[in-house]
Amino acid sequence: MPVIIDTEKCGKIENCPGEGLCIKLCEEDALIEEDGDVVIISENCNDCELCIMNCPNQAISKVD
Ligand code: SF4
Ligand code: SF4
């Protein structure tokens, strides 16, 4: 199950305390920058949860 991003908690990448940390961490190219926001490419996500564990704003979670 791919992850989902709460855009209100995340805010724009430029406001991320980790400066888009999730994008840098994702080894599957499942998270990309688009117009300053993080966008998930669901088909690339392998559920490693690295992004969930490391987002400083707890903006990433799993779909139930
Ligand atoms: S790490 Fe969290 S706060 Fe930072 S860009 Fe990714 S989702 Fe947004
Ligand atoms: S769970 Fe892993 S593969 Fe999926 S978006 Fe997050 S870091 Fe990338």
Domains and CATH numbers, the chain: 3-55 (3.30.70.20)
State percent of the chain over pLDDT 90.
Answer: 94
Ligand 2 center from residue 26 Cα (angstroms):
5
pLDDT above 80 (res 64): no
Q: CA–CA separation, 36 vs 45, rounded Å?
A: 20
Measured from the CB, is residue 60 less than 6 Å from ligand 1? yes
pLDDT above 90 (res 60): yes
Ligand 2 center from residue 8 Cα (angstroms):
19
Half-sphere exposure of 55 (CA within 13 A, CB side): 23
Q: Give the pLDDT mean for 27-42.
A: 97
Q: Give the pLDDT mean for 25-29.
A: 98
Query: Which ligand approaches the C-alpha of residue 40 most closely?
Result: 2
Helices within 1-64 (DSSP H only): 7-10, 21-25, 50-54
pLDDT above 90 (res 37): yes
Nearest CA to ligand 1 atom 2: 55
State percent of the chain over pLDDT 70.
Answer: 98
